[in-house]
């Protein structure tokens, strides 16, 4: 739920986060943590936090909000994958705007993204 949380609470993401999940991914990369909060509760493990981004990844891929989005941020491909499920009342309640049937393909040699449309 961290994507929904940040998209609806971080001032820079308020008007765009639910429609541009790649910007939420960029935010998490800048914070070097995949989800320091879950809803409004802060996650504070006692000794080890597996969500800390110690090593800069080549690719960050997510899919929680069912919205296609992608961008390159400081050499990291950010991919927010879509889904195959149309809008549900629950998604609508959360402010999600799914893009069902779109699949991003990443060329690992060129790092270019091609989107396949299955609709």
In the chain, domain spans: 2-40+55-117
Q: So what's the pLDDT on residue 118?
A: 94
pLDDT in tens, 46-105: 677 788 899 999 999 988 788 999 999 999 999 999 889 899 998 888 778 899 999 999
Q: So what's the pLDDT on residue 36?
A: 62
CA distance 100 to 111: 23
């Amino acid at each position: 739920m961290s994507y929904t949380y940040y998209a609806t609470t971080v001032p820079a993401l308020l008007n765009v986060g639910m429609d541009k999940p790649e910007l939420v991914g960029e935010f998490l990369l800048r914070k070097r943590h995949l989800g320091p909060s879950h809803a409004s509760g802060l996650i504070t493990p006692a000794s080890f936090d597996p969500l800390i981004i110690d090593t800069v990844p080549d690719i960050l891929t997510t899919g929680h909000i069912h919205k296609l989005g992608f961008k390159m941020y400081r050499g990291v491909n950010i991919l927010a994958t879509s889904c195959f499920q149309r809008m549900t009342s629950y998604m609508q309640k959360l402010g999600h705007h799914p893009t069902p049937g779109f699949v991003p393909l990443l060329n690992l040699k060129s790092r270019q993204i091609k989107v396949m449309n299955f609709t």
